[in-house]
Amino acid sequence: MSTKKGKKGDVLLDMKDIVIDGYSDERWHEIVKGVDLKLHRGEVMGLIGESGAGKSTLGLAAMGFARPGCRLTSGSIKFDGMELMGMPEKERRKLWGSRIAYVAQSAAASFNPAHKLIDQTVEATVGHNIRPSADARTDAVDLYGALQLPNPDTIGERYPHQVSGGQLQRMMTAMAMSPRPDLIIFDEPTTALDVTTQVEVLIAMRDIVDQFDTAAIYITHDLSVVAQMADFIKVLRYGEEVEEAETRKMLKSPEMPYTKSLWSVRSLEKPEDKSEDVVISIKNVDAAYGGTVKVLHDVNIDVPRGRTVAVVGESGSGKSTTARVITGLLPPISGEVLFNGEPLPKALKERSKDQLRKIQMIYQMADTAMNPRHTVEEIIGRPLQFYHGVTGKQRTDRVLELLKMIELDESFLDRLPNEMSGGQKQRICIARALAADPEVIICDEVTSALDQIVQEGILKLLLRLQEELGITYLFITHDIATVKAISDEIVVMFQGRVVEQGLKSEILNPPHPDYTQLLLSSVPEMDPDWLTNLQNERDAQT
Amino acid sequence: MSDTNSTENYSAAGEVGQVRLKRTVFQRAWIELKKAPITAWFGLIVIAIYIFMVVFAPFVAPYGEAQVFPDSYAPWSDEHYLGTDQIGRDLYSRLIYGGRNTVGIAFVTTVLAFVIGGALGLIAAIDRKWLDQGISRMVDVLMAIPSLIFALVILAILDKTTFNLIIVIAVLDSTRVFRLTRAVALNVVVMDYVEAARLRGEGLGWVMRKEILPNIMPPLIAEFGLRFCFVFLTIAALSFLGFGIQPPLADWGSMVRENASLIQFAQFDLKSGLTPLIPAAAIALLTIAVNFIVDWFLHKTSGLKDEH
């Protein structure tokens, strides 16, 4: 077994006045500006903030590590009495993977696809000579059991592509846990998972951290998640500490205006509105990829004009495929899509310019939805020119008008996509869709890659545009809070089938079909006891 | 919740984005050049000299390209810096004119190879169906035959004109360009912005030129440099074998062949012995210079970071 460690309550990590610089555009910029962090043994700290707040950078600094292109400029990092600043890398390497472990956001990208999971689980433990291989393997199987992985005895023999995303994320936790580290850094470990999977992973991670009295830093931008995991929370913004407090206290009475704004974001809610005037009607659609794998089964959805229909479900439920059928990217095998009562040609190529113009799409990743080599003026101007034949000065004027509509100014005209923040990019995508003068906009997870405050801004913008222009939204999302904020009607999808469709009030209030119940109950709430209650409830049922 | 005003000072335009400093193209290029390694500078200078020589050949060369002097195989002298060849033409002048022909033809051929291979590669990447299959398999067939032998066979059948030479080599080399273009374009074709353009109803030409091409330029430019070297070596090799650029046009490959016998006199007159090696050295130097620049360019655009 590993060496006897200090007792619970001792200071494990003491970071003082940490300054970290990042290099970009030929200069060094301060990313983290003098933050202090103190963590005792057995404690879990939540580190929250928007992207770019410096939370991951600070988390890595707790290991004495700086990403390439970053440098630890000044401050002191004391880990169990050892000063990590200025410690030679060779010494620090001995700590990494043995006494400090790191769980990354994307498990899929962090495992080596060519090695068996169990070999990777015990690699650090055996490599650091913490215990012999056979022991470590037996222990790994125990860890798999503790993390509630199916078939703990044999699952380690599989390769990373043979398990699901949620299982892989738990594998990574097992890997981090294997050498029994004193400190684990979780960097957004559940952000890429579905809500239903996220719950399982959260429970598993919380229990195991509890069981071994490991200290942890939990980095996330999701408040309700951190509320379940952390003993106390530190809020970061622009590389500076905003506030730190015990979890319950912070949830109840946040002090700083910025923290309060994070808390209030989720209160946005639009009153629902019924309408009988159907603009898009999907009738008995079956669709398949490659002619064999059927992904949509007899899908029927009605989208009323000037309203927002939210399509919810976990990944793989057929939400995005439905969007592809509507846009014509994936011609359905059978069934049809009616637009204003007229059937739309199935394939994209057969549709007229006007039909294409009336249905626009906004993507999840604004980064990849805009050509990185085109300026904002070209991006927004192209649909104007293409559909409406507007050119020259007129085009520039109209682009400026659209920029104003999305609350940006003329300084953005000649910017490239990588010169804007995530929220700004998504706004440009919205403007591009508006430029076509559409009747329907399909929004595919448009806010899920954004921070809370930015999300709220985008949602408000979409609502305002709907009010002003009467646009219909088909809003694809897996986030129930977003659904509450924006929708009139909700469609719940599961495994390529529509579970139910109805007004927001009908769907969100009981009675629910089983799946809707599972989905709704898996959405984390701002209550530190929520996960415990849920776990008890679900245990009681089985 | 009573406090909903806390987001009031939020403005979309005020979000921190990384704004690039406004600089002109020349300023950016100069910044890059200042950081360029010595090898890249060497390559740039060598190529600049070559370009100067090639463009201003009639002014730089002391005599005409096919001007014949009475004494053949004259030794190096002030009159003929590198002596004369077997029928008495000034070798120094022919070296300069030879550069014009070899480099010029190689350049035109490479451009043509890129136009053919690049266009087909983009079409194949966008189509991904039978057209892609058809072109790709044809390219496989062409690539299965060693290109030098293939070129020899075709040039033996066709007239040995410069035009035919350019076409044959361009078509053979376009297969490599096709493969590269298709491979890098495939990564871009799957991007949402390409899908967005197709949803908008854009035609093939727009998608190729405006959406994909700008995003695959760096590897293509690097490949252009390398491909240029290969084309240029192929031409020199074909000329050496007598199938390339035909007399009286000067070119480096055939200059090596015509004067090759001089090498055996090296034991009597070292300078004359070296004469056939000088066009060969000109070929080698240009190849190295181009490769240095390509290396630097690839290193810069591939995102590899220098180790500190």
> Which residues 417-446 of chain A have a CB within 8 Å of chain B?
418-421, 423-424, 427, 432, 436
Q: Which chain A residues are within 8 Å of B7, Cβ to Cβ?
A: 261, 264-265, 453, 456
CB-closest option in A24, A258, A365 to B18 = A24
Contact at CB, A411 and B13, closer than 8 angstroms: yes
ipTM above 0.85, yes or no: no
pTM of the full structure:
0.78
- Asked if the C-beta of B271 comes within 8 angstroms of chain A's C-beta atoms, the answer is no
Contact at CB, A423 and B15, closer than 8 angstroms: yes
Task: Name beta bridge partners: A15.
Answer: A37, A77
Contact at CB, B20 and A416, closer than 8 angstroms: yes
pLDDT at position A508 is 84
What stretches of chain B adopt beta strand conformation (E)?
none
pLDDT at position A59 is 87
- For the stretch B11-36, what's the b/e string if a residue is b when 16 or more beta carbons lie within 10 angstroms of its beta carbon? ebbebebeeeeeeeeeeeeeeeeeeb
pLDDT (tens digit per residue) in B110-130: 999 999 999 999 999 987 788
Looking at CA atoms only, how far is residue B6 from chain A in angstroms?
Answer: 5
- 3-state class (DSSP) for residue A129: coil
Please state, in angstroms and rounded to a whole number, the distance separating the CA atoms of residues A460 and B191. Answer: 28
Residue A399, pLDDT > 90, answer yes
Residue A372, pLDDT > 70, answer yes
pLDDT at position A65 is 86
- 3-state class (DSSP) for residue A191: coil
Contact at CB, A356 and B191, closer than 8 angstroms: no
Averaged pLDDT, A66-78: 85
Backbone angles phi and psi of A377, in degrees to 5: -65, -40
- Asked if the C-beta of B203 comes within 8 angstroms of chain A's C-beta atoms, the answer is no
Q: Which of A371, A379, A412, A413 is the best residue to mutate to test the B interface, defined by the most B CB atoms within 10 Å of its own CB?
A: A371
Q: Which chain B residues are within 8 Å of A412, Cβ to Cβ?
A: 13
pLDDT (tens digit per residue) in A109-159: 788 888 999 999 998 888 888 889 898 999 999 888 888 888 888 888 888
Confirm if B24 and B284 have CB atoms less than 8 A apart. no
Residue A537, pLDDT > 80, answer yes
Looking at per-residue confidence, does A475 or B262 come out higher? A475
Q: Which chain A residues are within 8 Å of B6, Cβ to Cβ?
A: 257-258, 260-261, 264
Lowest mean pLDDT among A315-329, A410-424, B37-51, B71-85: B71-85
For chain A, give the mean pLDDT: 86
SS3 per residue for A330-370: CCCCEEEEEECCEECCCCHHHCCHHHHHHEEEECCCHHHHC
Closest C-alpha among A115, A116, A133 to residue A124:
A133
pLDDT above 70 coverage of chain A, percent: 97
Which residue of chain B is at minimal alpha-carbon distance from A361? Answer: B196
Confidence of residue A427 (pLDDT cuts 50, 70, 90): very high
> Which residues 314-353 of chain A have a CB within 8 Å of chain B?
327-329, 348, 351, 353
pLDDT at position B264 is 82
Q: Which chain B residues are within 8 Å of A407, Cβ to Cβ?
A: 11-13
Highest mean pLDDT among A237-251, A460-474, B2-16: A460-474
CB-closest option in B7, B192, B305 to A456 = B7
> What stretches in chain B show pLDDT beneath 70?
1-23, 302-308
Q: Which helix (H) or strand (E) holds A267?
A: none
Which residue of chain B is at minimal alpha-carbon distance from A370? Answer: B193
pLDDT at position B48 is 93
Please state, in angstroms and rounded to a whole number, the distance separating the CA atoms of residues B294 and B62. Answer: 33
Contact at CB, A261 and B7, closer than 8 angstroms: yes
Q: Which chain B residues are within 8 Å of A461, Cβ to Cβ?
A: 12
Q: Is the peptide bond before A331 cis (omega within 30 degrees of 0)?
A: no
Please state, in angstroms and rounded to a whole number, the distance separating the CA atoms of residues B15 and A407. Answer: 12
pLDDT at position B81 is 80
Which residue of chain B is at minimal alpha-carbon distance from A258? Answer: B6
Closest C-alpha among B112, B86, B135, B102 to residue B276:
B86
Looking at CA atoms only, how far is residue A192 from chain B in angstroms?
Answer: 19
- Asked if the C-beta of B31 comes within 8 angstroms of chain A's C-beta atoms, the answer is yes
Dig out the tokens for B201 from the structure. Answer: 């109803």
Averaged pLDDT, A35-60: 85
Contacts 24+ apart (CB under 8 A), B5-8: B6/A257, B6/A258, B6/A260, B6/A261, B6/A264, B7/A261, B7/A264, B7/A265, B7/A453, B7/A456
Residue A291, pLDDT > 70, answer no
Confidence of residue A382 (pLDDT cuts 50, 70, 90): very high
Please state, in angstroms and rounded to a whole number, the distance separating the CA atoms of residues A466 and A487. Answer: 11
Looking at per-residue confidence, does B27 or A371 come out higher? A371
pLDDT at position B170 is 93
- Asked if the C-beta of A411 comes within 8 angstroms of chain B's C-beta atoms, the answer is yes
Q: Which chain B residues are within 8 Å of A406, Cβ to Cβ?
A: 12
- Asked if the C-beta of A456 comes within 8 angstroms of chain B's C-beta atoms, the answer is yes
Q: Which of B24, B200, B209, B301 is the best residue to mutate to test the A interface, defined by the most A CB atoms within 10 Å of its own CB?
A: B200
